[in-house]
Structure 1
Amino acid sequence: MHQSTSLSAVEATSYYRHLGGEDYESTIHTQGAWNPHEQHMAPVTGVLVHALEQFQPRDGMRLVRFNFDILGLIPAGPFSIETTMLRPGKTIELLQAELVAHGRPTVRVTAWRLQTGDTGAVEALEDPSMGSPDDAEPWDGMEIWPGGFIRSLEGRVEPGHRPGRGRAWLRSPYSMLDGVPTSPLVRLLGLVDSANGISARVVPGPGGYMFPNVDLSVHVHREPVGEWLGLETHVTFAADGVGLTSSVLHDIKGPFGRSEQILTVRPIPDAK
């Protein structure tokens, strides 16, 4: 095990420790599925969203869109988050945060923050609700994946779930940051990157295919609530090594956003 952290799986009750200022450290619960010495993108998403929330917050404004670019392997252990304002404005702002490990950026996110107001008179929603996780069946389908992050999840599944398309609920007993309260937005967006694994078209393994995502794009039309994330997901593979995982995001009140992940689909190299 190459997880660089002072907290074991038994001791760790969060995905990250805040070391002060811009500095953080991952725990075993962030461990990725493709490599044991890297972080899964899902908790990385959560801690970056938390950093964006804390950066120059303003009443009557909320974060609504996040574009994450994964610039390389995200190493386990210590890292820093550098947050800046790219486009200030009275009603619209564009923020950026970078996760920097070993002196280089490994994930970069830009996020739009918009002014809110009362539009209840024209409120409308087209996506149907997934219902309640209480009515879904317990599910261990994520166990095909290795890694500490996947082991941290509880899953439930809706009828009709199959490779390439499905509806599943996820939650985690662990906080995003040790001893630091975080919002439902942070908690639920910290699970969204799991979408690429909940209804995989092919099972990863020797002689098969890998399909990691190189980005994550999330649009949030409503502030989410609770601790359960519902993922209504379908997966597309093109014939030239590119794929797309698309999801409608749900909480216990219904749909609150959408996510997209572009994939690089390639044969798994033979072990030497």
Structure 2
Amino acid sequence: MSHLYYDLTQDRSAADELHWVCDSSPHTVGPWSPVLQHGGPPNALAVAAAERIVSQVTHRDDLTALRLGSEFVGPVPVAELEVRAAIVRAARSAVLAEVTVLAAGRRCLTSRVWFVRRADTSEQAPALGPGTELPDDLPGLDHSFGYGDSLDWRRVSGGLSEPGPGTAWTRARTGLFDGYEWSGLARAVLVADSGNGLSSELDWSAWSFVNVDLDVHLARPVVGEWVLLDAATQLGAHGSALARSTLSDRHGVVGAGLQTLVLAPARS
């Protein structure tokens, strides 16, 4: 089995537009169906596409991807995907890229990624701490599926089988695609889409609580490989819910994630 989430088979990009064709590996499989992807890998792929088009068009090396806003227009299948990206706005202080992921010509995911120019504001921000030491004896994920098995999990509290808030350290064991080095935002969104699962308030066998979107905001880039996901779900009385996640690295809090959930009885 490949050690990558995606195999980038074609690059048809033009000067001002990115166009990739990718094969999806079993590492992308989510917990709901063996033929549907977890939201983490395609969102990380969207970040990578945004990074590529911004570099390709602006030729700048002083920009950092810090925010992703994604809408799941439809389920993302474990299949061949098309990825298209273009620049929406390019200013001196910030650049906005838009990414669309399609399967068989059908749009699955639409994402917008903001890049902020780097500047020295270290005197106004607290210094990073020395770094948290991760215990080696924490349990792993309490379920097995493609995406879940592609990450190292060290659960501090909660789990997919335990209703209520959950906290876990995570680290990607799988590359995104050949030649790509994980950026801080890509690491964050890969994990942030697990907030609703780690903090599930409902029985997986009786209820579906799929998210229709993912918003991730970072105050600063993630440092290192490990991301701490601290998530809680707030149930609503009208068929919806909200999953909130605090995202940290070993030096402290870096940002937050939000997911709007649709609640429905599980199909028998």
Normalised by the length of structure 1, the TM-score is: 0.86
Work out whether residues 70 and 112 of structure 2, in 8 Å CA contact, stay in contact via their aligned partners in 1: yes
Partner of 2:209: 211
Q: Percent identity?
A: 29
In 2, the alpha carbon distance for the partners of 1:245 and 1:137 equals 27
User: SS of the counterpart of 1:175?
Assistant: coil
Work out whether residues 247 and 260 of structure 1, in 8 Å CA contact, stay in contact via their aligned partners in 2: yes
- Of 89, 92, 98, the residue aligned with 2:91 is 89
- Of 103, 106, 128, the residue aligned with 1:104 is 106
- Of 22, 25, 28, the residue aligned with 1:27 is 25
Q: How many angstroms does 1:12 deviate by? A: 1.1
Say which is worse superposed, 23-32 or 151-160, in terms of deviation.
151-160
Which string of whole-angstrom CA distances, capped at 9 and with x for unpartnered residues, describes residues 227-246 of structure 1? 21101111100111110110
Question: Any stretches of 5+ residues in structure 2 without a counterpart?
Answer: 12-19
C-alpha change, 1:170 and 1:94, in structure 2 (3 Å) is same
Equivalent residue letter for 1:85: I
Partner of 2:51: 53
- Of 73, 76, 81, the residue aligned with 2:75 is 73
1:233 matches 2:235? no
Which string of whole-angstrom CA distances, capped at 9 and with x for unpartnered residues, describes residues 30-83 of structure 1? 012112111111111111111111113222221221100000111112111100
Work out whether residues 199 and 243 of structure 2, in 8 Å CA contact, stay in contact via their aligned partners in 1: no
Equivalent residue letter for 2:49: A
C-alpha change, 1:142 and 1:214, in structure 2 (3 Å) is farther
Partner of 1:7: none
Partner of 1:257: 255
In 2, the alpha carbon distance for the partners of 1:54 and 1:179 equals 12
C-alpha change, 1:120 and 1:234, in structure 2 (3 Å) is same
Normalised by the length of structure 2, the TM-score is: 0.87
Equivalent residue letter for 1:245: A
Which string of whole-angstrom CA distances, capped at 9 and with x for unpartnered residues, describes residues 151-205 of structure 1? 2232112257763212211123111113433334323422221111112112301
Task: Let me know the Cα RMSD of the aligned residues.
Answer: 2.2
Equivalent residue letter for 2:221: E
Work out whether residues 139 and 154 of structure 2, in 8 Å CA contact, stay in contact via their aligned partners in 1: yes
Partner of 1:152: 150
Q: How many angstroms does 1:212 deviate by? A: 0.4
Equivalent residue letter for 1:154: D
Equivalent residue letter for 2:118: T
User: SS of the counterpart of 2:54?
Assistant: coil
Equivalent residue letter for 1:116: R
Partner of 1:3: none
C-alpha change, 1:195 and 1:137, in structure 2 (3 Å) is farther
Partner of 2:220: 222
In 2, the alpha carbon distance for the partners of 1:90 and 1:201 equals 44
Work out whether residues 185 and 218 of structure 2, in 8 Å CA contact, stay in contact via their aligned partners in 1: no
Equivalent residue letter for 1:101: A
Work out whether residues 141 and 198 of structure 1, in 8 Å CA contact, stay in contact via their aligned partners in 2: no
Partner of 1:4: none
In 2, the alpha carbon distance for the partners of 1:212 and 1:64 equals 24
In 2, the alpha carbon distance for the partners of 1:182 and 1:110 equals 18
In 2, the alpha carbon distance for the partners of 1:219 and 1:40 equals 20
Work out whether residues 158 and 199 of structure 2, in 8 Å CA contact, stay in contact via their aligned partners in 1: no
Partner of 2:15: none
The number of equivalent residue pairs is 253
User: SS of the counterpart of 2:259?
Assistant: strand
Partner of 1:6: none
Question: Any stretches of 5+ residues in structure 1 without a counterpart?
Answer: 1-10
Work out whether residues 15 and 176 of structure 1, in 8 Å CA contact, stay in contact via their aligned partners in 2: yes
Work out whether residues 133 and 169 of structure 1, in 8 Å CA contact, stay in contact via their aligned partners in 2: no
Say which is worse superposed, 244-253 or 56-65, in terms of deviation.
56-65
In 2, the alpha carbon distance for the partners of 1:75 and 1:160 equals 28
In 1, the alpha carbon distance for the partners of 2:124 and 2:233 equals 32
